[in-house]
Chains A and B, each alone.
Chain A
Amino acid sequence: MNNFFAVVVSGALLCSATSAIAHHSFAAQYDADKPVTLQGVVTKVEWTNPHARFYVDVEDEEGKVVNWNLELASPNILRRNGWSRNFVEEGDEVTVEGSLARDGSKMANALAVSLADGTRILSRE
C-alpha cells in the first residue's frame, strides 16, 4: 500500500505543473497567500465536474463543528495524475492543506490531503 501511494505522489508531483489550471482563473476564487490547514472527518465526496469535491467536518476553536467544502481538480485531471475516487472516503480522518476562498466562505482549494496512516496525497487545482 505504501508503495502504491508513493507512485501516486510522484505522479501528482510530475503532473502538477500542467494541471495547476482549470476552467476558471484560480486567483479569482482562491488566495494562494492565505494557506489553511484543516483537520477533520470527511462527510461527503463528490467525484464530479468541473471539480471533484470533498466535505470535512472541522471543529473550530470554540468547539463548534463547521462543514468545509474542499475543491480538487476535475476527475479527468485527477485520474491522469494517478488519483482514484476512493482515495478519500466518507468517514476518513484527514488533514488538508489548501488555499482559502477569497469570498470568506468555508471553502478551500485542497493542495494536499494527509490520511490517518500518514499518507500524504498531493493535488493541484
Chain B
Amino acid sequence: MALTLIAFLFAGPLLAQEGGGTRDEGDAAAFARAGGDLISQTPAQELLERPAPRLPDGSPDFSGLWIGSGPIRDIGLGLLPGEEIVLLPEAKVLMESRLAKDDPEANCLPTGVPRIAPYPWRIVQAPLSGQATHLFFLFEGNIHSYRQIFMDGRGHPEDLDPTWYGHSIGHWEGDTLVIDTVGFNDRFWFDFRGHPHTEQLRTIERYTRTNYGTLEKIVTIIDPGAYEKPFTVQFDATLRPDWELMEYICNENNQDVQHIQGPASE
C-alpha cells in the first residue's frame, strides 16, 4: 500500500497536462524539477508564478483544474473596497428566517452562481483550436454538475425557464473573460449565511488569469428583487496542476441535515 501511495504522489504531477502553454510534457517536467512539495502535492511556486498561458491563436487559456474561489461561507467576505450589501426588507426577513439545515448545498443540491463548493472544478474550452464557442465549468461538488457558457455571440433567449446555473453568454474584453448570466431560479443560497436572491438575479463575472496559477474572479450581483443596489465581490481561484477531478456523489449517504442545528451561519 505504501508503494502504491508513493507511486500516486509522484505520478500525479508527471501526468499533469494542465493549463495550456505548449501543452507538452515540458510543463509537467518543469513542475517536477521546480521542487514542488510532492508529499503535500503543493505545486511549485515557480510554476504558478509564470505568465498565464495562451492558445495558439493568442487568446488566453483558462483550462485547468482550479480550487478555491468562492463565495463559500459569506459572500460579504469578498466585497471590494467601497462596496456594500444592502438587503431589501423582504430579503432581510427571508435571510434571517433561514435555518442551516435548509441550505441547498447541505442537502446536496447545486451551488448556483457565484457560490463555489470547497472542491475543485475544471474549465474546458471547446473547440481547443480556433475560437472557443463553448466553455464548460465541470464541478466535482457540490454535485457532479456543469455550467456551459456560450461564446459564439448569441444573446439570452426571451423565455427562459428558471434554473440553478441560468443562461450564460461570454465574451473577451482584452484578456478578461466576461460572463453575463440570467435565468436563475431563486432556490440556491449565496453562502452558508443564507444570502438570498430572486429570479431577477443577473450576474456579471469577470475572470482574468493573472499568472499561470491564479484565476481572478470578480462578480457583480444585480438583483433589484433582493438588494437595494448592485454589489461587487472578488474571490480568486488557484490552479492545481497535480490534481484530477474525483467522484463526489453527495447524496449517497447524506446524514448531516437531520443533525444540523440553528439559523444559517458561517
Chain A residues within 8 Å of B, Cβ to Cβ = 1, 3-4, 7, 10-11, 14-15, 18-19, 21-25, 27-29, 46, 48-51, 53, 69, 74-77, 79-80, 82, 84, 86, 101-103, 105, 107
Contacts and interface: CB of A to CB of B under 8 A. Distances in A.
Given A10-B40, A24-B106, A84 B5 contact: yes
A4 B259 contact: no
Interface stretch (B198-206, B208-216, B241-249): B241-249
B235 interface: no
Given A10-B39, A24-B260, A28-B260, A46 B265 contact: no
Contacts of B100: 24-25, 28-29
Given A23-B118, A28-B100, A80-B243, A7 B39 contact: yes
Contact of A28 (B39, B108, B119, B262): B262
Contacts of A79: 246
Contacts of A1: 2
A50 B41 contact: no
Interface string B238-264: 000001001111111111110111101
A124 to B, nearest CB: 11
Given A27-B266, A46-B253, A53-B255, 19 more contacts: A18-B118, A21-B118, A22-B118, A23-B106, A23-B108, A23-B250, A24-B256, A25-B266, A28-B192, A28-B264, A49-B249, A50-B141, A51-B256, A74-B119, A82-B5, A82-B39, A102-B259, A103-B259, A103-B261
A27 B106 contact: no
Interface of B: 1-2, 5, 37, 39-42, 67, 72-73, 100-101, 103, 105-106, 108, 117-119, 140-142, 192, 243, 246-257, 259-262, 264-266
30 contacts: A4-B5, A10-B39, A11-B40, A14-B37, A18-B118, A23-B106, A23-B142, A23-B250, A24-B100, A24-B192, A25-B100, A25-B260, A25-B264, A25-B266, A28-B101, A28-B260, A28-B261, A29-B256, A29-B260, A46-B253, A48-B252, A49-B247, A50-B141, A50-B251, A51-B253, A69-B255, A74-B141, A79-B246, A82-B5, A103-B261
A123 B168 CA distance: 38
B192 A49 contact: no
Nearest to B42: A14
B253 A23 contact: no
A47 B171 CA distance: 42
A59 to B, nearest CB: 23
A29 B141 CA distance: 20
A116 to B, nearest CB: 18
Contacts of A3: 2
A122 B18 CA distance: 30
Contact of A80 (B41, B141, B251, B261): B41
